[in-house]
Structure 1
Amino acid sequence: MLLKNSSSNFFWALFDRGGMLLMQFIALIYLSHLVSPYDFGLIAILSIFINLSNVLIDSGMMGALIKKKYVENIDYNTFFTYNLFFSVLIYLILFFSAPLIANFYHIPSIILYIRILSLAIVINAFGLVQTVKLTRDLQFKTQAIITISSQILSVLLSIVIAKMGYGIWSLIALQLLHFFFSALFLSIVNKFRLSIQFSRESFKEQFSFGGPLLISNILMIINNNIYSSIIGKYYNAKDAGYFYQSNKLQNTPVGIVSAVIDKVSFTMLSKAKDLKEMITVGHDLYKYLYFVIIPIFVYFNEISEDFFIFIFGNKWIISAPIFKILCYAIIPLIIKILNRSLLKAHGETKIILALEFAITTVGLTLLIFVVSKGLHWIAYSIVLNSIIIAILSSFFVKIKLEYGMLSQFSIIVRPLILSVLSLIIVDSLFCWINLDSLIEGILKFIFYFIFIIIFNIKFLKKMLIK
């Protein structure tokens, strides 16, 4: 029943995150031709501070409110009051510490940029509770419309700013305007009104669930953003920009999957009656997800380097091989995301914290060994880290949820083998034919997915029946 009811929610959650990332992707392509790698590098350096601040404001309590069976107005208002006051505090800290950050990177211009960009933290605080309310009510369609509308407006305005020659300010505007329009539309559409109220009991209850998630999310942000920041320190802002662009594009498909899982899978799994039903729903759900995701990413990895140069141009050619390396991390990252959702739905926030601690520890350890060897070695360290954590997360799911690793990997191995086999067959067919590169690419794409469908025809029939 849960699986059937989730189909519409999955579509709108996918449209929400997918549409937003698609708009960001379009903006990324367009702005990359107007803005220098150096300016992108400055944004990459600053991103860790902004992302960490937003995680601190959330404090993992969004998940607590979504999971809680009965939520009263005082719970929402407590979360809102905490968000508002803490976001202002963090903004003031960043405002006054901006000169120290600039001295650390030896880039004086960062002072003004971080003081303006940090306003996004305060603006974002006005939309978090509204998002929780819509998520609890399973109003994914409303969220999707708000997200896409705000993203379209922010992208269009940032492109206008870039066309006027303002460079990095277009990238800053892209983030600020998205948070502004999103918070504005959420307040208009959602009739739920907030007020300044605070309950210690409610805060303790929310934080008891969200506390471990807060620390795990902090570790996740550090792990995702530390590379560009370190590169900006030990190399230069331009190299940070090259790496940031590769990482940003690689994170686009991962971000889509992650958002769908967090918004829909977690919500639906949390509503399961017991552990047995949760595992059953999760297994069936993930089987379908892997069927769609793995063939796409196997093919995407094959064409990744040429694809990168095609959309960004020779100006970013240094980023292309880095992007290809990072693409090997996509499937392990998705395995980790899906396992994290299961653990979160079962309330295993301490295990999630342990996983994020392991990711950060292993990642930083590998980074220490490879940072002096160049950008390619740093990219390979990310791939190795993602594989280690995918296996470790599956092990924790087995121990805590009694969901065997054999059952977990059985729904991964089949689509992976068939995808690789389809790719080998297609490459073998076209190695004897001399065609224009564009026509060959289109035909390879068509034949690859024809073979995927043929190999999975029985599975498709079962899926359509369900």
Structure 2
Amino acid sequence: MIENNQLKKDTTKGIFWTFVDFFSSQGIKFIIQLLLTRILLPEHFGLIGMILIVVAISQSIVNSGMQNALIREQNSTQVDYSTVFYFNLFVSIVIYGVVFIFAPIISAFYDEPILKELLRVLGLIIIINAFGIVQRTILTKKINFKTQTLINIISTVFSGVTAVILALVGLGVWSLVVQNVMGQLIQTILLSLHNRWKPSFIFSVSSFKRLFGFGWRLLVSGLIDTTYKNIYNIIIGRTYSTTVLGYYTQATMLRDIASNSITLAVQKVTYPVLSKIQDKEKQLLNGYRTIIKNSVFVTFPLMIGLAAIANNLIPFLFGENWKGTVPYFQILCLAGMLYPLQAINLNILQVKGRSDLFLRLEIIKKIIGVCLIIFVVVLKLGMIWLVWTLVISSISSLFINTYFSGRLINYPIKSQFLDIIKTFISAAIMGILVFFIGLRLNFLLDIYILILQILFGCVVFIGLSIILKSYELYNFTKYIKNFAKK
């Protein structure tokens, strides 16, 4: 009983600080982004979008799945940490060298000469990140998200303010590059100063084989997932224009602030927590169901609500020049509302040590996604249908993840569906009503329409949750009260 209470305490504390991170670090990042969109042009964001795939793929290779392998280990040693550190550092240097050499070719592919220098500078993130992976892993294993939150806030503020200043003096796209590099550098420095962990001069082959044996499948899975998520940037940047890509990347950014931030917060906390009870089947299932139900209670109304108010939200936040972002953002919100469910289901595969199944499912899901993309591109159905493939792919991925993870802990698709259906119905009805309210109030200023839509949406969702006797509403209010007391 003492162990269970401690686990609940650690979980609650971890979720609290990750959500503090969401509302502070991500909130600050969002404000910075708003300022930058008022200063810079859509094509500036489009240029960054063209090369972020290279950095993202490189980051996946550097991580190599070893971070999750370390987190899953019950008793990681200094030898384990040092081995992972040196391996990551070596790989990062090699990868950056490849990026540096191929930068001119990538620049020529997009017919954008400036990309060569942008990529060579932005690519420094790869090496910087290698120094911070083990540091962050140590804090994650301790379920210490308070420190990570504070570090994220500090790095976001300093890098964001610097980017705004550089944008104001006319550095354009370079301000975005500096923002990304500086943010990662500050995080790595602060993590190192806090942990005071230093690698020993040792590299254990046996330790590497054990950790990489689990992590290499996650590495390949991560590469597939990262490539697939960023392939849209390649297609849009090559087929359309930097402006259209700027609209799409901005829509993705706004969606990610809401959806991916919550997904990463829940995933980051639940993985080490569930790993601690991986051999306690009943406790694992109960904890897992609670996480699922409480997560969708936040993400479903949030993402559907954002899609419903997008027509007024985007021009109000970014200005009239960014109206082209609206349809992409609305579609991406529908796809993003399912991301937390996918991530939590995938966590179970890792907790149970099934990285082999994790990889196989990743391949199957991405084959489906690529087929959808090819179908749209070959038939020249246009940009909107290209974005819709993300929704279709997200739905199919959810069913695949849910089916296989459910088999591992006796939590089938039907049970998961029944656990979330009340929340979905409440959120869907709320979204439809909020959307039509916005159309009816088009004679008002955007800010007044938004305020009325948000207030009306909150009242409708809470009211429907009460009518449908949603237990998650009780949990949510209880968490809020506990956090307020703290």
Say which SS state the counterpart of residue 186 (structure 1) adopts: helix
Measured in 1, the distance between the counterparts of 2:33 and 2:413 equals 38
Q: Which residue matches 1:135?
A: 140
Measured in 2, the distance between the counterparts of 1:129 and 1:89 equals 19
Change (3 A) 1:439 1:18: closer
* 1:287 maps onto 2:293 in alignment: yes
Measured in 2, the distance between the counterparts of 1:248 and 1:431 equals 25
Measured in 2, the distance between the counterparts of 1:315 and 1:433 equals 22
- 1:144-159 correspondence to structure 2 within 5 Å: 144-159=149-164
Measured in 1, the distance between the counterparts of 2:254 and 2:91 equals 31
Q: 394, 397, 404: which one pairs with 1:386?
A: 394
Measured in 2, the distance between the counterparts of 1:423 and 1:244 equals 24
- 1:115-264 correspondence to structure 2 within 5 Å: 115-264=120-269
Asked if the contact 2:312/2:449 (under 8 Å) is kept, the reply is: no
Q: Which residue matches 2:452?
A: 443
Measured in 2, the distance between the counterparts of 1:158 and 1:91 equals 23
Change (3 A) 1:236 1:452: closer
Measured in 1, the distance between the counterparts of 2:308 and 2:437 equals 16
Change (3 A) 1:332 1:263: closer
- CA shift, 1:446, in A, is 1.9
- CA shift, 1:130, in A, is 0.4
- CA shift, 1:435, in A, is 7.1
Asked if the contact 1:243/1:375 (under 8 Å) is kept, the reply is: no
Q: Which residue matches 1:318?
A: 324
More displaced, 202-211 or 188-197? 188-197
Change (3 A) 1:418 1:78: same
Change (3 A) 1:197 1:311: same
Measured in 1, the distance between the counterparts of 2:40 and 2:475 equals 49
- CA shift, 1:196, in A, is 4.1
- 1:385-424 correspondence to structure 2 within 5 Å: 385-423=393-431
Asked if the contact 1:17/1:259 (under 8 Å) is kept, the reply is: no
* 1:39 maps onto 2:37 in alignment: no
- CA shift, 1:350, in A, is 2.0
Counterpart residue type for residue 406 of structure 2: K
More displaced, 423-432 or 324-333? 423-432
* 1:335 maps onto 2:341 in alignment: yes
Change (3 A) 1:375 1:280: same
- CA shift, 1:425, in A, is 5.8
Asked if the contact 1:269/1:345 (under 8 Å) is kept, the reply is: yes
Change (3 A) 1:435 1:235: closer
Change (3 A) 1:382 1:119: same
Say which SS state the counterpart of residue 47 (structure 2) adopts: helix
Counterpart residue type for residue 318 of structure 1: G
Measured in 2, the distance between the counterparts of 1:375 and 1:150 equals 35
Q: Which residue matches 1:454?
A: 463
Change (3 A) 1:440 1:175: closer
Measured in 2, the distance between the counterparts of 1:196 and 1:224 equals 38
Change (3 A) 1:321 1:198: same
Asked if the contact 1:367/1:378 (under 8 Å) is kept, the reply is: yes
Change (3 A) 1:305 1:357: farther
Measured in 2, the distance between the counterparts of 1:53 and 1:394 equals 29
- CA shift, 1:310, in A, is 1.6
Change (3 A) 1:60 1:112: same
- CA shift, 1:421, in A, is 3.1
- CA shift, 1:424, in A, is 5.1
Q: Which residue matches 2:283?
A: 277
Asked if the contact 2:21/2:153 (under 8 Å) is kept, the reply is: yes
Provide the TM-score with structure 2 as the length reference: 0.91
Asked if the contact 2:315/2:323 (under 8 Å) is kept, the reply is: yes
Measured in 2, the distance between the counterparts of 1:13 and 1:292 equals 14
Say which SS state the counterpart of residue 193 (structure 1) adopts: coil
Change (3 A) 1:315 1:401: same
Asked if the contact 1:304/1:327 (under 8 Å) is kept, the reply is: no
Matched residue pairs, number? 466
Counterpart residue type for residue 234 of structure 1: T
Counterpart residue type for residue 464 of structure 2: F
Asked if the contact 1:94/1:115 (under 8 Å) is kept, the reply is: yes
Measured in 2, the distance between the counterparts of 1:104 and 1:220 equals 22
More displaced, 299-308 or 377-386? 299-308
Cα offsets for 1:134-193 (capped at 9, x unmatched): 111121111111111111111011111111100011010111001110011111111222
- CA shift, 1:276, in A, is 2.4
Counterpart residue type for residue 289 of structure 1: S
- CA shift, 1:423, in A, is 4.5
Change (3 A) 1:252 1:407: same
More displaced, 212-221 or 37-46? 37-46
- 1:10-159 correspondence to structure 2 within 5 Å: 10-159=15-164
- CA shift, 1:285, in A, is 2.0
Asked if the contact 1:12/1:141 (under 8 Å) is kept, the reply is: yes
Measured in 1, the distance between the counterparts of 2:237 and 2:369 equals 17
Asked if the contact 2:275/2:351 (under 8 Å) is kept, the reply is: yes
Asked if the contact 1:130/1:190 (under 8 Å) is kept, the reply is: yes
Change (3 A) 1:237 1:434: closer
- CA shift, 1:354, in A, is 2.1
Q: Which residue matches 1:352?
A: 358
Measured in 2, the distance between the counterparts of 1:142 and 1:169 equals 30
Q: Which residue matches 1:370?
A: 376
Measured in 1, the distance between the counterparts of 2:85 and 2:55 equals 19
- CA shift, 1:429, in A, is 8.0
Counterpart residue type for residue 26 of structure 2: L
- CA shift, 1:303, in A, is 0.8
